[in-house]
Structure 1
Amino acid sequence: MDLSVMFFGADAGATRHERTYDDILDIARTADRLGFHALWTPERHFQQVGQVFPSPPVLSAALAVATERIGIRAGSVVLPLHHPLRVAEDWAVVDNLSHGRIGLSAATGWHSADFVLSPGSYAGRRERMLDDIPLLRRLWAGEAAEFPDGTGEMVRVRPQPRPVQGTLPLWLTTSGSPETWEAAGRLRTGVLGATVGQGRDGLAAHIARYRAACAAAPDQGGTGPHGRVTLMAHTFVGADDEEARRLAEAPLKTYLRSYVRQTSANRSADRRTAELTDEQTAMMADFAFRRYLTWGSLLGSAETCRTMLADLVDLGVDEVACFIDFGLGREEVLAGLHRLAELQKDVR
């Protein structure tokens, strides 16, 4: 199993965003030196959660030149918000800057407000994402394709510059839908999921479904027949269990409350979510935090986290994307990252 670092965007609060980007670059350089597998950054728009992540390729370009060997990944690109040519060209630049270290996970997008950038894409966003995967692969490989130009006439174009990698490393992002796990298998992409909101048995069933679909699918220039399962998990390795839980509790609960508020603002959200009171939201955050301590997180001592990683290995997980920026300070994150690095040799 590989261990990666995922940024997902805690509330910045009163912190200047300039300082947040400095923190991200400092953590990225440290993760590179410590031998972590990859860095993952999301795409988020117009929300309190993830406010420093509106453009994965822009930030990834900075990460590419700030690091030397670590993978640079988008987790995720909201594919229906972007023309596939734009995606191919932007990420080819980053692939060149990183000397062939990029990969990206495609997502449908979920929040209605995000789609002010492409209002007509919201209703059919899932179908568009799945349709664009084969096209994106062809464009990345250097094939020309026809699109309407400014006059409405069809013109054949080829994206530039040429990337370093001949094949684009791709994942599909899933919030837990069995259909998305299976679609990733059929397309021979990796799958980027999360331990959040999933029990062990349900996750095992998803992985089995994905592996079967991968094995049955034809070669498409993607992953092999076994596929690749990457899971995000909230992570802070403390000196002991008590320290980890004490330091993580307040910032993680604050993050979770913000995430619930963001979800409730989505026009397609369940009305019951939109009508939650502050007290109910706080109760949900408390429940989620306690659940994470039971299973699915890397919040605890090195030994506690080692046990969780061993369980994920048994489930067939290939990579854990360790979500670290849920509100802890830079020094706490870096200290936890050094302790986490010590566990890498136990899971490889």
Structure 2
Amino acid sequence: MDLSVMFFGADAGDARHSQTYDDILTIARTADRLGFHAVWTPERHFQQVGQVFPSPPVLSAALAVATERIGIRAGSVVLPLHHPLRVAEDWAVVDNLSHGRVGLSVATGWHSADFVLSPDTYADRRERMLRDIPLLRRLWAGESEEFPDGTGAMARVLPQPRPVQETLPLWMTTSGNPATWEAAGRLRTGVLGATVGQSRDELAEKIAIYRTACATAPDQHGTGPNGRVTLMAHTYVGVDDEQAQRLAAAPLTTYLKSYVRQTSANKSADKRTAELTDEQTSLLAEFAFRRYLTWGALLGSAETCRKSLADLRDLGVDEIACFIDFGLGLDEVLAGLHRLAELRKEF
């Protein structure tokens, strides 16, 4: 099982964004030296959570030249917001800068405000994503395609530059819907999910659905017949359980409250979420934090995290994307990363 580093976007508060980017580069260089498998960055727009992640290819270009061997992953590219030609072109640049270390997880997108960038693609965003995955693969492989040009006439174009990798490593992001796990299997993409919001048994069932779909799907220049399961997990490996939980509690609950507020601002969100009071939001965040301590997170001593990693490996997880930027300071993140690197050697 591989261990990677994932940035998912803490509440930046009053921090200078230039300092946040410096910290991201410092953490990525450290993860590269420590032998972590990949570094993942999200796509976020117009929200307090994840302010510094509006453009995964731009940030990934910086990560590509700042590191030497670690994989450069987008988790995720909101495919309905972008023309597939632009996705192929942007990430081919990053693939060249990184000498062939790029991988993308594509997503439908979920927040209505994001789609001010492409309002006409919100209603059928899932169908668009599923339709554009095979197209994106063909463009990456060097096949030309026809699209309407500025006059409305059809023009055959080939995206440039040519990437280093002949096949684009692809994942599909899921918030937990079993249908998405199955769709990822049918398209022979990896799947990028999270431990949050589901029990161990529910996760095991979804992995089984995905593996079955992968095994019966035809080859599509994607993953092999067993697929690849990557799961995001909130991570801080402390000196001991008490220290880890004490340091993580305040920033993580603050992050969770910010995330609930972001969810409630989504025009298609459940009305009950939008109507939560501040007190209810705080209680929900506290409940979520306590639940993370019992299953699905890597928050604790090296021994506690070792048991959690072994459990996830036994479930059939291929890679853990360790979500580290939920509000801890840079020194704590780096210290935890070094302790996690010692565990990485065992897995």
TM range (shorter): over 0.9
Aligned residue type for 1:228: R
1:21 aligns with 2:45: no
Q: d(CA) in 2 for partners of 1:325 and 1:198?
A: 22
- Following superposition, the deviation at residue 318 of structure 1 comes to 0.1
- Whole-angstrom distance in 2 between the partners of 1:248 and 1:52: 21
Structure 1 segment 51-66 matched on structure 2, within 5 A = 51-66=51-66
Residue identity opposite 1:260 in structure 2 = V
**CA offsets per residue over residues 161-181 of structure 1, 9 Å max, x none?**
000000000000000000000
- Give, in whole Å, the separation in 1 of the partners of 2:259 and 2:38: 25
Q: How does 1:212-231 map to 2 (within 5 A)?
A: 212-231=212-231
Partner in structure 2 of residue 195 of structure 1:
195
| 1:311 matched residue in structure 2 | 311
Where does 1:266-277 land on structure 2 (aligned, <5 Å)? 266-277=266-277
Q: C-alpha separation between the residues in 2 aligned to 1:301 and 1:45? A: 34
- Distance in 2 (alpha carbons) for counterparts of 1:163 and 1:284: 45
Cα RMSD of the aligned pairs, angstroms, is 0.3
Alignment of structure 1 residues 127-146 onto 2, 5 Å: 127-146=127-146
Task: Name 2:91's counterpart in structure 1.
Answer: 91
Residue 81 of structure 2 is matched in structure 1 by 81
Deviation at 1:100, TM superposition (A): 0.1
Deviation at 1:263, TM superposition (A): 0.2
Residue of structure 1 in register with 2:45 after alignment: 45
Secondary structure, counterpart of 1:226 in structure 2:
coil
1-structure distance, mates of 2:9, 2:309: 23
How far apart in 2 are the matches of 1:113 and 1:152? 29
Give the % identical residues.
Answer: 85
Q: Structure 2, unaligned stretches of length 5 or more?
A: none
Corresponding residue number in structure 2 for 1:284 = 284
* Corresponding residue for residue 9 of structure 2: 9
- Structure-2 separation of matches of 1:196 and 1:40: 17
Structure 1 stretches of 4+ moved >6 Å:
none
Structure 1: runs of 5 or more not aligned = none
Deviation string 1:7-51 (CA, Å, 9 cap, x unpaired) is 000011010000000000000000000000000000000000011
Task: Determine helix, strand or coil for the equivalent of 1:75.
Answer: strand
Structural mapping, 1:129-168, within 5 Å: 129-168=129-168
Determine helix, strand or coil for the equivalent of 1:346. coil
> Which residue identity lines up with residue 169 of structure 2 in the other structure?
P
The one-letter amino acid of 1:250's match is A
Deviation at 1:345, TM superposition (A): 1.6
Q: Distance in 2 between matches of 1:205 and 1:263?
A: 26
Separation of aligned partners in 1, 2:312 and 2:28: 24
Render the CA deviation track for 1:260-281: whole Å, top value 9, x for unaligned. Answer: 0000000000000000000000
- Give 1:346 shift: 1.5
Superposition TM-score, scaled by structure 1 size: 1.00
**Is 1:293 equivalent to 2:293 in the alignment?**
yes
What corresponds to 1:71 in structure 2? 71
| Aligned match of 1:337 | 337
Distance, in Å, in 1 between the alignment partners of 2:23 and 2:253 is: 21
